Chains A and B, each alone.
Chain A
């Protein structure tokens, strides 16, 4: 007898992305419909974490067929239940249609977005119920942890991680095994492990998705790390803005304790370990490890000089191993499959996979996991479906607010730690913002710098004062008041801030400016010399709008919305825009019913 057997499982993604597009209602309605049709004993609803294809949410997958339904709304549930679950007919209109084609694809694995991905860390996301430790165990969960604790010495575990070539996924790419080894070798009875889940980059959500979709994976990775370094206590530092991730982590921790996977004498090995969640108050700088630890200790989140490194003197002055969510997420697979198998993925010095958050002007917004070394082109075009609205790619910004902008002509660049650094970007936590030809690179640099300046902890001089001065220069460029010598001053300040800042927030804050200056210098120069924004973005410098008299019907819709009163004309006759008054805001063009207004 298997009372748990259901002939069909319907997986509803209830990650934050899908929930915001209506997944909770979809789920509720599904439950109601199943009862209405008397199917509740045959069909099981499983809530899962994120599939990464957030562009297409809410996502519903029906097993055993594995049919992938996207953008499912409450009204669509009747069809799914009546046609698919009852009669076995796939609901075609809810299938995914590949970009630029009419072909509808029913199977998850056949969609281009997934075909080229290599999902290790995200392997369980969207496939199991994150609130069920049973499902995690059913897909080999805690096997790696059991193996490590009962069959290996801590040194052997460290050797395995070192052998895998795993490097920190939080940005800097420090070898994980080496970090563990240093922490293990540091003298001291009491040691800590910390998971850095203070994901703060705008547009980044890999840590959130992972914690929401597969929390036990992170817990397992941390238990293994704790065993390797000799820690009996750990913290997961999560942003308070991630309530679902926190709730699922709390459930997972509770379950792990009930199953004896946390607590005393785990797997009968004599090893004790437990974990606490610490909610961060949303300061970007708390992603910096020393600031994060200060925050756990109840202090203001401010970085302190290193050395001493956390491996020597970390939380409460004790040796501490601190890794990012994704880093811990790789550990169970390495321990299960072995270092060799892991090394086979990726490149020689950047092994394994990396998760990226694809955002910006790209068709398939979402979370992807690819082998290291894949080219930017493959990620953007083959997985991401290319630039949206068929526009031209201009640049890709990688590495969060302190990353760099890579120009379109470097599209063949393999994505690994070293290659990115060489072109002035960095892996960062894996943000990837795609920009098309309507983007002004000066404006972009300003946007990111504004973020880092306002999130600077204010402790060290170069970061606090220097980024402010850089921002002021960029403000001036964008408003047409740039001066001769500004670009040189930007470079001088940028290099100065990088070389003298206390922590890596300042140490990388100028990257977006320096990389755009490097690759798009002409665009900067146009802002100064010609007082012109080539991408028509910077207010005050963009070309004024003009009305095509041949098309204008004199409806006066534009006159009514123009904030500066720049438009005049007689009713039912062609109107004109006065270029001296026009501020190029574009509201008129958006209101014109006959598309008679465009930038001149």
Chain B
């Protein structure tokens, strides 16, 4: 360590390694992992999301939820950006994941053709 700058630069990198432990003010991706969801292939979606976030070096929280009663729409994937409404995407395929991540998570535009519901901020 030869300067304070060097330390700070290093820290900026390292903070990402433990960012999973911090959820405040971060975008969230929530995947329906009820029996219905898993039966419809939600496990693949979860893996695809993880892979995508890792690939694009994003600071995002990924969590799971149970059945929300829309079993016929499974696999379900919700995206919630800080301070914005929570958008639910239905019948998501592994192929859709990249699009949702890029368009919604990175660029902030909900992917309208896949979205099936909108929950107001603070809901659930």
Contact = CB atoms under 8 A, between A and B. Distances in A.
Q: Direct contact between A and B in the complex (CB less than 8 angstroms)?
A: yes
Interface of A: 1-9, 11, 41-42, 44, 63-66, 86-89, 127-128, 134-135, 137-140, 142-143, 146-147, 150-151, 259-261, 265-268
Contacts of B22: 64
A150 B20 contact: no
Interface string B26-41: 0000010110001000
B18 A135 contact: yes
B38 A87 contact: yes
B53 A7 contact: yes
The DSSP consensus for interface residues of chain A is loop
A146 B3 CA distance: 7
Contact of B2 (A9, A137, A260): A260
Contact of A64 (B17, B33, B62): B62
B124 interface: no
A326 to B, nearest CB: 25
Contacts of A127: 21
B18 A128 contact: yes
Interface of B: 1-4, 7-8, 10-11, 14-23, 31, 33-34, 38, 43, 46-47, 49-50, 53-58, 61-66
A139 B53 CA distance: 22
A267 B1 contact: yes
B77 to A, nearest CB: 13
A88 B33 contact: yes
Contact of B20 (A6, A128, A137, A261): A6
A9 B65 contact: no
Nearest to A89: B66
Nearest to A150: B4
B30 to A, nearest CB: 8
B16 A2 contact: yes
Nearest to B10: A137
The 10 lowest CB-CB distance pairs between A and B, nearest first, are A88-B64, A138-B14, A7-B62, A146-B4, A2-B57, A260-B1, A64-B61, A87-B33, A268-B2, A4-B17
A143 B11 contact: yes
20 contacts: A1-B55, A2-B57, A4-B17, A5-B57, A7-B20, A63-B23, A64-B63, A65-B63, A87-B66, A88-B33, A127-B21, A138-B18, A139-B18, A143-B4, A143-B8, A146-B7, A150-B3, A267-B1, A267-B7, A268-B2
B53 A134 contact: no
Contacts of B16: 2, 4-5
Nearest to B32: A88
Given A9-B18, A87-B64, A147 B4 contact: yes
Nearest to B4: A146
Contacts of A146: 1, 3-4, 7
A128 B31 CA distance: 27
Among B15, B17, B46: residue with most chain A CB under 10 A: B17
Given A87-B64, A127-B21, A267-B7, 20 more contacts: A2-B54, A4-B17, A5-B20, A5-B57, A7-B62, A9-B20, A11-B21, A44-B20, A63-B23, A87-B38, A88-B31, A134-B17, A137-B10, A137-B14, A138-B18, A140-B11, A143-B7, A143-B11, A146-B4, A150-B4
A11 B21 CA distance: 10
Contacts of A86: 33, 43, 64
Contacts of B1: 142, 146, 259-261, 266-267
A260 B62 CA distance: 36
B20 A138 contact: no
Among A88, A135, A267: residue with most chain B CB under 10 A: A88
B57 A1 contact: yes
Contacts of A66: 21, 23
Among B20, B33, B62: residue with most chain A CB under 10 A: B20
Among A6, A66, A138: residue with most chain B CB under 10 A: A138
Nearest to A265: B2
Contacts of A266: 1
A138 B15 contact: yes
A268 B17 contact: no
B20 A63 contact: yes
Given A134-B14, A147-B4, A3 B54 contact: yes
Given A137-B11, A142-B7, A267 B62 contact: no
Among A64, A87, A268: residue with most chain B CB under 10 A: A87
B3 A267 contact: yes
Contacts of B7: 137, 142-143, 146, 267
Among B21, B34, B55, B61: residue with most chain A CB under 10 A: B21
A41 B51 CA distance: 9
Nearest to A88: B64
Nearest to B21: A63
Contacts of A88: 31, 33, 63-66
Contacts of A64: 20-23, 61-63
A435 to B, nearest CB: 39
Nearest to B62: A7
B74 to A, nearest CB: 13
Contacts of B2: 260, 265, 267-268
Contacts of A11: 21
Nearest to B61: A64
B48 to A, nearest CB: 11
Nearest to B2: A268
B53 to A, nearest CB: 6
A132 to B, nearest CB: 9
Contacts of B47: 42
B1 to A, nearest CB: 4
Nearest to A61: B21
A269 to B, nearest CB: 9
Nearest to A138: B14
B72 to A, nearest CB: 19
A79 to B, nearest CB: 15
A147 B5 CA distance: 10
A42 B44 CA distance: 12
